[in-house]
């Protein structure tokens, strides 16, 4: 199959009309209804209590596998740093210190600097002993930048909670950081603990744990954004996204990430959180679909699907990150497959060994309230389960297996129907759109074929430069109502993890796919203002805001031999700047390092060895709709949590590309053109 670039005039007119109608209408703001609430800890009898009168004590220790809770009443002061607040030797230490305001590794403490630029932090470090760590105990820290507290000076309640599965820090009834332990403290028969009375007013230790209880809110918490959203918290991010449309509701599952994959001692500690919407204007945050409930659990990507009329989500158990394969149930599953030619179904809570491989959860109400099946149905660790248009239950196997598999039931019985396609590796997804079938990988792979053709007719689009990778990592594709298709993924900011991004897809009659912004979720803006009716020479404008929507029209000229660039500059001018460059003649666009005097140098596309998934400098090629006048829209969003600016560009309503620029906070815009005309330059600050 040969994919060509030609887009029908009808499609161009429709998309142009869509953009015009949006510009003329007043957009309703998005609302995200959050699940988060305050928490309380009540009841229980303290093993030991410390105060300014009793600064240290000896108490009978909990058993090594016991849970515990420590409640602290602290008096914090600006400027107080480099202090030990509480210590239980060889078990626990709580400290305050001045963090390097430029160091965002792991905890991202610079997300909340004080007005003077300092970055005081508080950390609670627990020493854990685990049989998986031959080199001895390891320290696991949870902490916060103190600048995130609404009122730093004065009294605060801190709660340190170790459940065996979670190690969590609460401040003033809010959950502000957590991690997932591997192992337990070693207490000994008796323990000594002490406090710093200049900061700690009272300390109590409880074992077993005090169970946290949600505080019922009369009015739920809300946010006015979903595009470029991240979970609340200084170090909380969106990981791999999996989406599904069922009974008029769009479900978005994402792997919750803290520390850019550094949680659980670098094993990830991921699990699927869940959002949904029926109109894309009001979104609801549900309970986690696959919460971590055991120390061995860390999850990999999967897909939502319908089986037996029930909403399910498949996912992988990446237990081999923690335990050797020989200690997991993978050998058992492979032995069964090699003997029978199909996979078995193993109830992992009834047999020895650590669970690993493919499993799934089932929604009890068709919307949320997911319950783990505890059934292993395949040894691959990133299962992409789906029902194909012919009604067959299928799976694309990733990580630990490869190929296409088929079964009559989700619970085992899976047999390989195409062992070599897709070739495995990252997360692959199948979808059919009108007369074409597509398979897209998490970072690089993209294949397409006519819907009636056999699987051996899949053609790799990346080699032809016809892919639609736009900076989203591990993108998921879902058809919604009215035949529309959405592409959702995450934009890497914290190594592994970042912001949510959702774009709408467009399809040409020849099967070529592109992307555009989804009108319903475009961030709300303030009043738009005109910067220039026409750019006749290189022009510079103050943006007036570090987060804004920029739009302009381009007339490429009859010979299409020019190019244009939008250069985004911060206070340090060229340093950290970024240029969006568009070349109508070569049908290319790119992000590059900005230069005041010249266009940025040529970047590589994915076909040429570039890396869109790195969301720094890269090119896209084979643009559509740029041989005639077209519109460019750009959103620049700066956030202290990001530590830089995200730039999302839409070209001619048919291609998008996203970049993240660390340390860039835009103050000025420079527009330049070469044999192309830029007109109607407008800018509007984002409301959020």
pLDDT along the chain (688 residues), means of 10: 36 40 58 97 94 95 91 90 93 97 96 96 97 88 97 96 98 98 94 96 96 96 97 97 98 97 95 98 98 96 96 97 96 98 97 96 97 98 96 95 96 96 84 97 93 93 94 96 97 95 97 97 97 95 98 86 93 93 95 95 97 97 95 98 98 98 98 93 97
CATH topology of domain 529-685: Jelly Rolls (2.60.120)
Q: Where are any strands of DSSP class E within 172-230?
A: 174-179, 190-195, 200-206, 213-214, 222-223
pLDDT for the residue 675:
85
Contacts of 374 by beta carbon, 8 Å cutoff, 6+ apart: 347, 348, 349, 355, 359
CA distance 268 to 382: 14
Q: Is 20 exposed, middle or buried (0-12, 13-18, 19+ CB in 10 A)?
A: exposed
pLDDT for the residue 7:
32
Q: Residue 346: which of 368, 321, 362, 328 has the closest Cα?
A: 328
- DSSP reduced 3-state for 104: coil
CATH number, span 39-214: 2.60.120.200
| DSSP at 10 | H
Give this prediction's pTM: 0.94
Domains 222-517 and 529-685 share a fold: no
pLDDT for the residue 287:
97
pLDDT for the residue 24:
35
CATH topology of domain 222-517: Tachylectin-2; Chain A (2.115.10)
Q: Residue 223: which of 29, 32, 30 has the closest Cα?
A: 32
Q: Which two tokens stand for residue 166?
A: 């979670």
| Cis preceding-peptide flag for 208 (omega within 30 of 0) | yes
8 A C-beta contact, residue 630 and residue 621: no
Q: What is the DSSP string of 269-284?
A: ---EEEEEESSSSEEE
The domain limits of the chain are 39-214, 222-517, 529-685
């Amino acid at each position: 199959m040969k994919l060509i670039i030609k887009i029908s005039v009808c499609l161009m007119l429709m998309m142009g009309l869509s953009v015009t109608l949006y510009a003329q209408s007043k957009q309703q703001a998005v609302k995200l209804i959050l699940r988060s609430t305050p928490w309380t800890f009540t009841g229980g009898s303290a093993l030991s209590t410390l105060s300014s009168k009793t600064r240290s004590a000896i108490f009978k220790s909990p058993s090594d596998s016991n849970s515990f809770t420590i409640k602290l009443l602290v008096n914090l002061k600006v400027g107080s740093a480099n202090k030990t607040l509480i210590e239980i030797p060889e078990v626990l230490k709580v400290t305050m210190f001045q963090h390097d305001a430029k160091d965002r590794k792991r905890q991202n403490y610079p997300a909340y600097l004080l007005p003077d630029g300092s970055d005081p932090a508080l950390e609670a470090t627990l020493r854990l002993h685990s049989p998986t760590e031959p080199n001895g105990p390891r320290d696991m820290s949870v902490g916060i930048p103190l600048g995130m507290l609404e009122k730093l000076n004065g009294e605060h309640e801190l709660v340190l909670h170790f459940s065996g599965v979670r190690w969590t820090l609460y401040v003033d009834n809010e959950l502000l950081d957590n991690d997932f332990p591997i192992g337990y403290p070693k207490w000994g028969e008796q323990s000594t603990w002490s406090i710093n009375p200049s900061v700690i007013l009272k300390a109590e230790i409880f074992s077993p744990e005090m169970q946290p209880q949600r505080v019922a809110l009369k009015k739920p918490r809300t946010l006015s954004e979903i595009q470029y959203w991240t979970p609340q918290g200084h170090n909380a991010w969106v990981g791999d996204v999996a989406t599904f449309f069922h009974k008029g509701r769009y479900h978005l599952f994402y792997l919750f990430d803290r520390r850019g994959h550094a949680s659980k001692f670098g094993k990830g500690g991921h699990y699927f959180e869940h959002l949904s919407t029926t109109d894309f204007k009001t979104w609801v945050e549900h309970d986690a679909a696959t919460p971590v409930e055991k120390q061995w659990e860390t999850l990999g990507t999967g897909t939502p699907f319908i089986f037996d009329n029930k909403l399910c989500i498949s996912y992988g158990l990446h237990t081999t990150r923690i335990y050797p394969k020989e200690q997991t149930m993978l050998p058992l599953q492979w032995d069964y497959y090699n003997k029978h030619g199909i996979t078995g179904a193993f109830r992992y809570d009834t047999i020895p060994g650590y669970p690993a491989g493919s499993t799934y959860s089932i929604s009890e109400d068709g919307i949320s309230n997911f319950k783990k099946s505890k059934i292993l149905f395949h040894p691959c660790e990133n299962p992409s389960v789906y029902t194909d248009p012919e009604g067959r239950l299928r799976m694309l196997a990733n990580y630990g297996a490869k190929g296409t598999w088929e079964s009559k039931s989700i619970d085992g019985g899976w047999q390989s129907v195409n062992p070599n396609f897709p070739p495995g590796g990252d997360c692959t997804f199948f979808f059919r759109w009108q007369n074409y079938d597509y398979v897209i990988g998490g970072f690089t792979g993209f294949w397409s074929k006519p819907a009636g053709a056999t699987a051996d007719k899949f053609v790799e689009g990346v080699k032809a430069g016809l892919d639609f990778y736009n900076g989203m990592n591990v993108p998921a594709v879902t058809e919604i109502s009215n035949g529309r298709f959405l592409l959702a993924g995450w934009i890497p900011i914290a190594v592994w993890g970042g912001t949510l991004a959702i774009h709408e897809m467009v399809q040409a009659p020849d099967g070529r796919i592109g992307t555009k912004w989804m009108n319903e979720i475009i961030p709300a803006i303030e009043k738009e203002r005109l910067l220039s009716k026409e750019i006749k020479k290189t022009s510079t404008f103050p943006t007036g805001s570090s987060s804004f929507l920029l739009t302009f029209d381009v007339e490429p000229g009859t010979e299409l031999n020019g190019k244009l660039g939008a250069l985004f500059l911060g206070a340090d001018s060229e340093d950290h700047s970024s240029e969006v460059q568009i070349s109508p003649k070569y049908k290319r666009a790119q992000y590059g390092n900005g230069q005041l005097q010249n266009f940025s140098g040529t970047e590589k596309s994915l076909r040429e060895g570039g890396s869109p998934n790195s969301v720094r400098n890269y090119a896209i090629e084979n643009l559509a709709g740029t041989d005639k006048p077209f519109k460019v829209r750009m959103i620049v969003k700066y956030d202290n949590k990001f530590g830089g600016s995200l730039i999302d560009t839409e070209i001619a309503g048919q291609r998008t590309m996203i970049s993240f620029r660390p340390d860039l906070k835009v103050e000025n815009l420079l527009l330049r053109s070469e044999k192309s005309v830029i007109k109607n330059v407008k800018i509007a600050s984002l409301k959020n």
